[in-house]
Structure 1
Amino acid sequence: MNSPTDPSATTVPTPPLPLERAVLLGVEGVMTVTLVRHGQQVPQSGPTYDAAASVDPPLSQLGRAQADAVAALLADDPVDAVACSPLLRAHDTARRIADRHGLEPSVHRDLREVETFRYLPDDVPADQPSEVVLAGIRERFLTRPGWDLYPWSERSAEFRHRVSSAIEGLIALHRGARHLVIVSHGGVMNGYLADVLGIGPDLFFLPAHTSVSRVRAGDGRRALDSLNDTRHLRPDHVTH
């Protein structure tokens, strides 16, 4: 018979403390939601800015290396599902993660990046908004980061509603899963995490390419676990 001091004696797990339960630690049925920003995209080149080419560029050579690094980081995790934006840079990053688990990433249009100048009318002159106005918007964004500053663009509330509903919908549809990975964009991650944290700015941090942020979801609540983790990347591979 084991004595109370016998190290081989079976120990009864200690119930989580209220402080731990408040952030969903030690609670049954909690899902890990891993938010991954896509790898670096092919940068714009040439003397003029091509707005169309900036919407859906593919991964750069470095971006592919970053995507492989985050895929390796998550390779040993029990990933149940991978979801992503339809944009090339997100889909290719998600595919590399999903391949390690024998999964196919599900593509969701509502995970796409915020669409600035989405409602630009056809009859607006090519020089509008002017360089003066754009420079002013960029300066104002430094102290008041919000998508509403940009004319003819997807509104901040509309965007946050879109991305938060999409991510919460994925959580609901994967109820019972242990680990859901969602690959999207910096604006999407800011919008959802700002909603989780109950804060106002549309951009409160700048996720590095293939950075990892984790949320615990369960018991009708959400708890932030980590933000902008880049430990899987070489220092010279950290880009924004």
Structure 2
Amino acid sequence: MQHIYFVRHGTTEWMELKKIQGISDIPLSARGRKEAENTAKAFAEIELDAVYCSPLLRAYETAAIICQSKDLQPQIIHDLRELNFGWMEGRRDFNFPQKNWGILRYMALLGRIFIVWISGEHFSQVKKRAQNSWRIINERSPRGTILIVAHGILLSFLITGLLSPEQRKATKRIYLQPCSISEIVLNDDGSARIVRMNDISHLN
């Protein structure tokens, strides 16, 4: 059995400015560090066997703060990095010239952002990275209690990949908040039990 915790990184200055981050390596803001400290308190009584994180600074900083009170170091998995938004990174969330709105709105309605042909990454590539990340993590930690600290889109693919079709339907519209905690128990038969999703009660 595996007990898996998923934490999205804390807030950054770009998030406060509503800028798209993607793989841009933006550190935590003062607010984000405080969120990570509160998240560390939430994990104070939880015994973790391993902590895995994205190589991007905002995720690594969050994981490192959580690990400060534990005899653990975050293990970087490069495929846990966020979606590459290409030319859109650094821009405010969908705050583009009017001439771009038609195609962007159409893509958003489809639930897909076709930017790979410009400079970014397709959702299918992120899904593949999420699957590869889980393969690596599962090989290193086939049992026990683990924490994965990464990014909103990547974690969404990672979490849904462990769920049944019915569970995916129930969770597909959940937006993971900064430093939210999601928790899943993965049984030996491969079935998953959702304990909580997008819990931010520790931040209040």
Structure 1 position 139, deviation (Å): 2.0
| % identical equivalent positions | 26
Where do 5+ consecutive residues of structure 2 fail to align? Answer: 88-95
Q: Is the 1:190–1:204 contact (alpha carbons within 8 Å) kept by the matching residues of 2?
A: no
Instruction: State the distance in 1 between where 2:157 and 2:178 align.
Output: 17
1:146 alignment partner in structure 2: 112
Closer/same/farther in 2, CA of residues 53 and 77 from structure 1, 3 Å limit: closer
Q: Pick from 17, 30, 34: which aligns with 1:61?
A: 30
Q: Is the 2:8–2:178 contact (alpha carbons within 8 Å) kept by the matching residues of 1?
A: yes
Within a 5 Å distance, the mapping from 1:81-160 to structure 2 comes to 81-117=50-86, 131-132=97-98, 134-148=100-114, 151-152=117-118, 153-160=120-127
2:199 alignment partner in structure 1: 229
Letter in 2 for 1:192: L
Instruction: State the distance in 1 between where 2:25 and 2:161 align.
Output: 26
Larger relative contact order (Cα-Cα within 8 Å, sequence gap ≥ 6)? 2
Structure 1 position 151, deviation (Å): 4.4
Structure 1 position 39, deviation (Å): 0.2
Instruction: State the distance in 1 between where 2:147 and 2:191 align.
Output: 15
Number of corresponding residues: 189
2:92 alignment partner in structure 1: none
Which whole-Å deviations, capped at 9, do the CAs of 1:29-62 have from their partners, x for residues lacking one? x11110100000112799xx99889711110111
Q: Pick from 122, 145, 150: which aligns with 1:179?
A: 145
Closer/same/farther in 2, CA of residues 116 and 81 from structure 1, 3 Å limit: same
Structure 1 position 136, deviation (Å): 2.8
Instruction: State the distance in 2 between where 1:222 and 1:155 align.
Output: 28
TM-score under structure 1 normalisation? 0.69
Question: Is 2:139 aligned against 1:169?
Answer: no
Structure 1 position 164, deviation (Å): 2.2
Instruction: State the distance in 2 between where 1:217 and 1:133 align.
Output: 46
TM-score under structure 2 normalisation? 0.80
Structure 1 position 81, deviation (Å): 0.7
Instruction: State the distance in 2 between where 1:52 and 1:38 align.
Output: 12
SS in 2 for 1:225: strand
Structure 1 position 225, deviation (Å): 2.5
Question: RMSD between aligned alpha carbons?
Answer: 2.8
Closer/same/farther in 2, CA of residues 137 and 74 from structure 1, 3 Å limit: farther
Q: Is the 2:23–2:56 contact (alpha carbons within 8 Å) kept by the matching residues of 1?
A: no
Within a 5 Å distance, the mapping from 1:205-224 to structure 2 comes to 205-223=174-192, 224=194
Structure 1 position 131, deviation (Å): 3.2
Report the structure number with the largest CA radius of gyration.
1
Instruction: State the distance in 2 between where 1:72 and 1:164 align.
Output: 30
Instruction: State the distance in 2 between where 1:76 and 1:179 align.
Output: 13
